[in-house]
Amino acid sequence: MNHPVSRRTALKQLTAGTVLAGSMSLLNASDAAPVPARKGRVKQSVCQWCFRNIPLEELVAAAAGMGLQSVELLGPKDFPVLQKHGLTCAMVSNPVAKAGDVTVGGIPHAWNRLEYHDALVAAYEAQIRATAEAGFPNLIVFSGNRDGMSDEQGLENCAKGLQRIAPLAEKLGVNLVMELLNSRVNHKDYMCDRTEWGVEMCKRTGSERVKLLYDIYHMQIMEGDVIATIRRHHSYIAHYHTAGVPGRNELDENQELFYPAIMRAIVETGYQGFVGQEFIPRAKDTAAALAALKHGVEVCDV
């Protein structure tokens, strides 16, 4: 026997059904949710290490679902996961090698020391080839720490070392991109900690394939004047990274940089590369971390 249903009961049933449907769509977001429309003026990426609590396959799928085109700072072993989801690696991670008892190629021990060059050249030649074979644009390099060395000597040594691998990078169409990092808070004693030093290093190397990674977070800490610096030196910049200052967290109202204006300044230079989200989310659970990433992407979508 049919019973009449009151308006209130009908609304409750409709609401319950909507909630259930919403929950199911979240569980199947990678399959059901449409990729959000983006303005497209800023190509965006995310740095995997900041979301290392999330399995790579899950992060890549979530990034694709947000409309990102890249997950970066990955090595060749991870390239198949990106390619499975149709993403690129906007910045390939550095190789490491042994120079005697020293592990070289990472942030503290790199191109500013002549005694590391032979090991670095061999490791980077292989990484350049792998990057080119995958069709990816950029490979990160580091200066190394000062450890008592003068900045002038470091410039000379970095240029000498990078000149040894630049011809292969030129031949295969891969940019060698030295990252600018702060030496006040996160990377004590790192040499390439000023934009002017990095620009001079590019000039001395003398290759169009040697560029800079302008990390907005790091350079705000070291020198500020972010927009003017980008406008002045954009021809030497092949990649950008983001994060909130202070703290290196979300691009929210708790930090001092106004990212929409910075992104507009980058776009106005004619930049065609990627901006990588490199903030560390405060929340550790996956849903909250991905929500923070989505917010950061929206902030930079100008």
83-103 pLDDT per residue, tens: 999 999 999 999 999 999 999
Give the C-alpha separation, 219 to 196, whole Å. Answer: 11
Report percent pLDDT > 70 for the chain: 88
Q: For position 134, what pLDDT does the model report?
A: 98
231, 261 contact by CB (below 8 A): no
CA distances from residue 296 to 34, 168, 216 in whole angstroms, order as listed: 19, 36, 14
Where does the pLDDT of residue 180 fall: very low under 50, low under 70, confident under 90, or very high at 90 and above?
A: very high
Arithmetic mean of pLDDT, 105-124: 98
Q: For position 38, what pLDDT does the model report?
A: 72
72, 46 contact by CB (below 8 A): yes
191-248 pLDDT per residue, tens: 999 999 999 999 999 999 999 999 999 999 999 999 999 999 999 999 999 999 999 9
Q: For position 40, what pLDDT does the model report?
A: 81
Q: For position 7, what pLDDT does the model report?
A: 38
Residue 27 has pLDDT above 70, yes or no: no
Residue 14 has pLDDT above 60, yes or no: no
3-state secondary structure of 177: strand
Q: For position 10, what pLDDT does the model report?
A: 42
Does domain 90-273 correspond to CATH entry 3.40.50.2300? no
Residue 36 has pLDDT above 80, yes or no: no
Give the relative orientation of helices 226-233 and 195-205 as an angle to the nearest 10 degrees: 10
Helix (H) or strand (E) holding 158: helix 151-172
Residue spans per domain, the chain:
90-273
